[in-house]
Structure 1
Amino acid sequence: MKEKKKLIVIVGPTAVGKTETSITVAKCFNGEIISGDSMQVYKGMDIGTAKIRPDEMNGIPHHLLDIKEPEEPFSVADFQSVVREKIDEITARGAIPIIVGGTGLYVASVLYDYKFAAEPPDTAYRQALEKRALEGRTAELYEELAAVDPETARNIHPHNVKRLIRALEIYHLTGMKKSDKPKADAEPLYDTALIGLTMDRSKLYERINKRVDIMMNTGLLKEAKHFYDKGLRGVQSVQAIGYKELYEYFDGNLSLEEAVNLLKKNTRRYAKRQLTWFRNKMDVTWFDMTNEREHLNRINEIVQFIAGKLQIKSNT
């Protein structure tokens, strides 16, 4: 039987401390970091995606940053393909690949035996759905989705036409539900140490609010305005939290204060969804990072866990 490649994965909600932890882990195991964030692939979207700066990398190679123009799509199937190639390349160099990020479905697509349909989009089917929505028949679309994929329907607002159509299209093309994801006991394709960072919710929300304030103070408004002024709309990149709220301000629908408060609220909600997803869908070993004075001890525990799980020695 072919030996599985070794892989370290560090997941958790936004603002929990994944970047700092991953640098230490990479130094301990001769690691190279692969971003597991669906939006950090986009060039110029640095502040809003909390992208690591070159001066923070400590000489650790980082992959999947700035590989796409903001106008380009980047699907979970694209991510799966590129990351698996990177894992092969990094392993061939004698280093350990480390996926770090919070986009659960993207990370899971690499670890587990996900298959993505090769069929081209059914343009006529999509246009028919769009026509029905324009005719005010969105409720019908929601009822149809609820009939074939109730779990996804529960997580989509009945008036969110874009997501309704996408979910119906996936089912139409593949026969799979959008909610079809791996069970927590699924067998990973790699010899994986899967680590999750968590934190007391009130402390995490405090960190999120502070992070948004720092983003605003370091130029997020200017960054988002750059894309707005370029006319970048209706594409995947600017649907990211941090940009879509400020677009509402630029459009005159919200005051700046309202947009920033909405950004904080949406980020907190996203963090909650991230935690729920990882706990329900993946076999994660969790480490609580609430107590900052215990961070060093937690990271030492993480390093020991990885060494034992993957049967490798650390450099410390």
Structure 2
Amino acid sequence: MHPTPVAIVGPTASGKSSLAIAVARRLGGEVVNIDSMQLYRGMDIGTAKLRPHERGGVSHHVLDIWDVTHTASVAEYGDIARSTVERLRSAGTVPVLVGGSMMYVQSVVDQWEFPPTDPDVRARYMQLQDKIGPAGMHERLRAVDPAAAEIIEPNDPRRNVRALEVIELTGKPFAASQPPKDAPPRWGTHLIGLAVDMEWLGPRIEQRTREMFDQGFIEEVRQLRECGLTASSTAGRAIGYAQVLAHLRGEISAEQAYDDTVRATRRYVRRQRSWFKRDPRISWIDAADRPEEQALTLLDTWGYHLHDNAAE
């Protein structure tokens, strides 16, 4: 019988990565990444990607698979991640999925039939976006589908266009094309969510962002720009990277890039909390109160075999 995966989800800076390692070690499992920006090679500091020596001896999968010039695709990622999970399960290894990228989580744990595309419809919206800009497109999306606008970044022109395309082609809200959140998750996956209070998380976001800049984040972005990172690319719109690119163009100071990154992270966290809160399949634990103990209690309740090797 193939093992049942565990997914650890929740907002940025809530401690998902460290919890995933602790859980994987106790289950003899391996980590599968579901953070959309950790898929890019070289995007390390700004995504808080754990370095190999920080991974506790646990194998990590679906990291560093794309160049920064690659246009991200939820469908493409889902195919890669699902095949990785299947391979681990076939080998008798528990996959521990971890990340906070909302639609990427869905692409793995849900039966998601991606809606159709129409090149003519998409081209028309692209032309409109050229006229009114990404912010204008996001406002247009908000007018026809406020729920979709809540989960899609205002500065993500590709996804804004895609959402409007889907709405036009299906005649339904963008969310209607997504799998229902009350459907059984693929493979019977157990989902653990890290619940946070913003009074606790806010200082962690600021500290993490300050550490990023202190560790050479600006230099990382400068080097990635030489490898093709641009403001219009998927990777270049990532939180932090977009702000530092603006600094490197001379538009804002380094301190302003830091401040803007903190604000953008806080906005994204609000969307993450709202999105995951609507999923009734998630079992929530308090991120600020011994989350590992809480997670292990859940795993024991669910019948997982816990190895006594966490301290090795």
TM value normalised by structure 2: 0.88
Note if contact 2:2-2:92 (Cα within 8 Å) is conserved in structure 1.
no
SS of residue in 2 equivalent to 1:40? helix
Q: 2:237 aligned with 1:239, yes or no? A: yes
SS of residue in 2 equivalent to 1:287? strand
The whole-number CA distance in structure 2 between the counterparts of 1:173 and 1:267 is: 32
SS of residue in 2 equivalent to 1:235? coil
Q: 2:126 aligned with 1:130, yes or no? A: yes
Q: Which has the larger radius of gyration?
A: 1
How big is each residue's C-alpha offset from its partner over 1:161-198, in whole Å with a ceiling of 9 and x where there is no partner?
65542322233455564333344422112222210112
Deviation of the 1:256 alpha carbon:
1.3
Note if contact 2:205-2:262 (Cα within 8 Å) is conserved in structure 1.
yes
How big is each residue's C-alpha offset from its partner over 1:120-146, in whole Å with a ceiling of 9 and x where there is no partner?
x53333332333444559999779756
2:198 — aligned with what? Answer: 201
How big is each residue's C-alpha offset from its partner over 1:65-90, in whole Å with a ceiling of 9 and x where there is no partner?
11111111231111211111111111
Note if contact 1:40-1:66 (Cα within 8 Å) is conserved in structure 2.
yes
User: Number of aligned pairs?
Assistant: 306
The whole-number CA distance in structure 1 between the counterparts of 2:156 and 2:24 is: 41
Q: 1:78 and 1:252, CA in 2 relative to 1: closer, same or farther beyond 3 A?
A: same
Q: 1:166 and 1:51, CA in 2 relative to 1: closer, same or farther beyond 3 A?
A: same
The whole-number CA distance in structure 2 between the counterparts of 1:283 and 1:123 is: 36
SS of residue in 1 equivalent to 2:272? helix
Q: 2:175 aligned with 1:179, yes or no? A: yes
Q: 1:175 and 1:287, CA in 2 relative to 1: closer, same or farther beyond 3 A?
A: same
The whole-number CA distance in structure 1 between the counterparts of 2:87 and 2:133 is: 49
Q: 1:70 and 1:176, CA in 2 relative to 1: closer, same or farther beyond 3 A?
A: farther
2:209 — aligned with what? Answer: 212
SS of residue in 1 equivalent to 2:21? helix
* RMSD over aligned Cα atoms: 2.8
SS of residue in 1 equivalent to 2:264? helix
2:188 — aligned with what? Answer: 191
Q: 1:166 and 1:65, CA in 2 relative to 1: closer, same or farther beyond 3 A?
A: same
Q: 2:51 aligned with 1:59, yes or no? A: no
Q: Which moved more, 1:147-156 or 1:241-250?
A: 147-156
Identity of aligned residues (%): 35
| Structure 1, unpaired ranges of 5+ | none
Q: Which moved more, 1:77-86 or 1:163-172?
A: 163-172
How big is each residue's C-alpha offset from its partner over 1:66-121, in whole Å with a ceiling of 9 and x where there is no partner?
1111111231111211111111111111110010010121112211111114x5x5
Note if contact 2:3-2:93 (Cα within 8 Å) is conserved in structure 1.
no
Note if contact 2:3-2:92 (Cα within 8 Å) is conserved in structure 1.
no
How big is each residue's C-alpha offset from its partner over 1:184-214, in whole Å with a ceiling of 9 and x where there is no partner?
4221122222101122211111011000111
The whole-number CA distance in structure 2 between the counterparts of 1:237 and 1:221 is: 15
1:314 — aligned with what? Answer: 306
Q: 2:161 aligned with 1:165, yes or no? A: yes
Note if contact 1:287-1:302 (Cα within 8 Å) is conserved in structure 2.
yes
Q: 1:105 and 1:4, CA in 2 relative to 1: closer, same or farther beyond 3 A?
A: farther
Q: 1:17 and 1:137, CA in 2 relative to 1: closer, same or farther beyond 3 A?
A: closer
Q: 1:262 and 1:29, CA in 2 relative to 1: closer, same or farther beyond 3 A?
A: same
Q: Residue 106 of structure 1 aligns to which amino acid in structure 2? A: Y
The whole-number CA distance in structure 2 between the counterparts of 1:137 and 1:273 is: 22
Q: 1:219 and 1:115, CA in 2 relative to 1: closer, same or farther beyond 3 A?
A: same
